A and B are shown apart, each in its own frame.
Chain A
Amino acid sequence: EAGVAQSPRYKIIEKRQSVAFWCNPISGHATLYWYQQILGQGPKLLIQFQNNGVVDDSQLPKDRFSAERLKGVDSTLKIQPAKLEDSAVYLCASSQRGTNTEAFFGQGTRLTVV
């Protein structure tokens, strides 16, 4: 079974530029998550989708971050404009359903904002 796919693996941008990350979840998984992991910390949820609807985006900085899940499958996360403090690993995860099932993570995209 193929895992969660993310691209790119690495990205370096200057502050105030924009960037987009892509995620393809495990086939058949209805729930998709984007987490932000700052160096030395645990992942923090940014947004959760159930199919193509948003379940939780309470911790998403909506003035600069946006996310969408096309047709309930792939998802993109965008940052515009980026700040230095956005430097982190952005992890995508998926699960069969939102609760009582484990989430499977992709390898992440390491973003460096200079």
Chain B
Amino acid sequence: EDQVTQSPEALRLQEGESSSLNCSYTVSGLRGLFWYRQDPGKGPEFLFTLYSAGEEKEKERLKATLTKKESFLHITAPKPEDSATYLCAVQAYNQGGKLIFGQGTELSVKP
């Protein structure tokens, strides 16, 4: 069964304190791995798609990496406005466009 597990469930950082979020996945055939950001009361907002092991993508203070078993979302020198829940999802070759989401990591950045 395809599955996505994110850790930690919650992460509290001080402003400027860099860290990483983990997304472990089990999927029959990975078509793509997606990272989304979700603010309270809003729908998920697309951040990155990664397609193959070794691929990396960056956006401002965020950098996503992918291996054959997991993905990391690195946050460098975070700011309070980076506080949100970060969701990881996989798309498998045999399941059309369906996204299988992890439970998310709730990030809180204090000034």
Contacts and interface: CB of A to CB of B under 8 A. Distances in A.
Contact of A102 (B4, B46, B100, B103): B46
Interface stretch (A35-43, A67-75, A76-84): A35-43
Contacts, number: 66
Contacts of A41: 103-104
B97 A43 contact: no
B91 interface: yes
Given A100-B31, A103-B97, A103-B99, A42 B45 contact: no
Interface string B73-111: 000000000000001010100011111111110000000
B42 interface: yes
Instruction: Please tell me the size bucket of the interface on A.
Output: 20 to 34
B49 A102 contact: yes
A108 B87 contact: no
A107 B41 contact: yes
Interface of A: 4, 31, 33, 40-45, 48, 50, 55-56, 91, 93, 95, 97-108, 110
